[in-house]
Amino acid sequence: MRRLLPAALALLVSALLVSTLPVSVLPVRAQSVEEFYKGKTINLAIGFSVGGGYDLYARHLARFMGRHIPGNPAIVPQNMAGAGSLRAANFIYTAAPKDGTAFGTFSRTTGINPLLESGATFDGTKFSWLGSITDDVSLCITWHTTAVKNWSDFLKVPSTLGGQGPSSEPDVFARLYKNVFNAPIKLVAGYPGTNEIALAMERGEVDGLCGLSWSTIKTRHAQWLKDKKINLIVQASFKKVPEIGDVPLAVEQTKDTEKLQILKLFLAAQEMARPFAAPPGIPADRKAALVAAFDATMKDPEFLAEARKLDIDVNPVSGAALEALLAELYTTPKDVLKKAGESITK
């Protein structure tokens, strides 16, 4: 038998080895962000019912943000009301796809809910925060026909306020003022959103509500202001908003150190007025693309022009700023957190 030449033998062995290698060890080119998103749909979960402020801001964002994401996916808003937006937050954190095809918006106080033992099943610092369209201030308001016209009345005259669920802003702030300031408030919970509470107030079912954003009042309910249909009772903010006028700040109504600590925990969340977050653990390149797209949308001339037409405030807070704020709030002393939790559950 003739011997194979050494070179020919080496080539034969090499070919046999390559043919028997498993496919998994062959080099595979990583899929780019653009390739992933091309032709895809991103679901935007809105933690409130149709017609409210969060719904308005989310739908406006959905119209423009996709054009700034590589691959230009469509963004489809889906209302997921329940438990004051806690249902949507829990969904985004635990059940939504973690591949970059889902994100959501929920109450500004949602990020701190786990600190207060409020039924949240997440860690607010672990969401993939994209940013907030604006910072904001919330107020307590009453209908013009009620006996509660101002802060002094609010502390003395019994009032019935509408609510949604334990973690919603109307419930949180109503209970906060009831327990911190001993305001004689009766809370009627169970409304799907602030839009429904507003209708109930107009019908006389409730006297008013707390935790309603100033941006919502002047966009969705500008006629109330024009016709002087509502009383502005108190601002949940660290500084007064000039256009609101001489409406007192909650933090100026006490000098008690403990009460101030409790109030400041909730007021800090006002910075997160219209927050958007994706699930934790999404691929880093897709998170970066979503964050960059959110930031770019905040500067999009068409987005800004349409926002002005809708009276939508655009004063963006970055995702990094939201992460830093929550990291700081999560260092709040446990004894303060315990008392803060008690102040919104009784």
Q: Does residue 9 fall inside a structural domain? A: no
pTM listed for this prediction: 0.76
> Which of 253, 269, 285 is at the close of a domain?
269
17 within a domain of the structure (yes/no): no
170 and 237 share a domain? yes
Asked whether the predicted pLDDT for residue 8 surpasses 50, the reply is: no
- Give the pair of three-digit tokens for residue 336: 């303060």
261 C-beta neighbours (distance < 10 Å), count = 16
Listing DSSP states for 233-290 in one string gives EEEESSS--GGG-SPPBGGGG---HHHHHHHHHHHHGGGGSSEEEEPTT--HHHHHHH
Percent of the chain exceeding pLDDT 70 equals: 91
Cα 254 to Cα 137, 298, 334: the distances in Å are: 19, 37, 22
Answer yes or no: is 4 within a domain: no
pLDDT of 231-281, one tens digit each? 999 999 888 889 999 999 999 999 999 899 899 888 887 778 889 999 999
128 in the same domain as 142: no
Residues 240, 158 share a domain: yes
Q: What is the CATH number of the domain that holds 78?
A: 3.40.190.150
| Domain identity same for 148 and 188 | yes
| Edge-to-edge strands, sheet with 159-162 | 185-188, 159-162, 208-213, 138-143, 230-236
Structural domain of 144? 138-269
Question: Is 15 a member of any domain?
Answer: no
- My answer on whether 160 and 94 are in the same domain is no
Residue 24 lies in a domain: no
Tokens at residue 40, please? 């895809």
**Confidence tier at 219 by pLDDT (50, 70, 90):** confident
**Residue 202 belongs to domain with CATH number:** 3.40.190.10
Residue that terminates a domain, selected from 231, 247, 269: 269
- Whether 21 is covered by a domain: the verdict is no
Q: Are residues 174 and 284 in the same domain?
A: no
User: Does residue 311 lie within any of the structural domains?
Assistant: yes
Is the pLDDT at 18 greater than 50? The verdict is: no
Supply the pLDDT for residue 272.
83
Beta-carbon contacts of residue 35 (< 8 Å; ≥ 6 apart): 71
Which of 269, 287, 303 terminates a domain? The answer is: 269
83 and 150 both lie in a single domain: no
Same domain for 125 and 72: yes
User: Does one domain contain both 166 and 313?
Assistant: no
Query: Are 208 and 60 within one domain?
Result: no
Is residue 19's pLDDT more than 80?
no
* Rounded Cα distance, 229 and 223, in Å: 8
Co-location of 318 and 301 in the same domain: yes
- 49 and 131 housed in the same domain: yes
Query: Residue 313 phi/psi, 5° resolution?
Result: -75, 130
Number of domains, the chain: 2
- The closest alpha carbon to 249, from 262, 261, 263, belongs to 263
Question: Residue length, the chain?
Answer: 346
Asked, for residue 341, whether it belongs to a domain, the answer is no
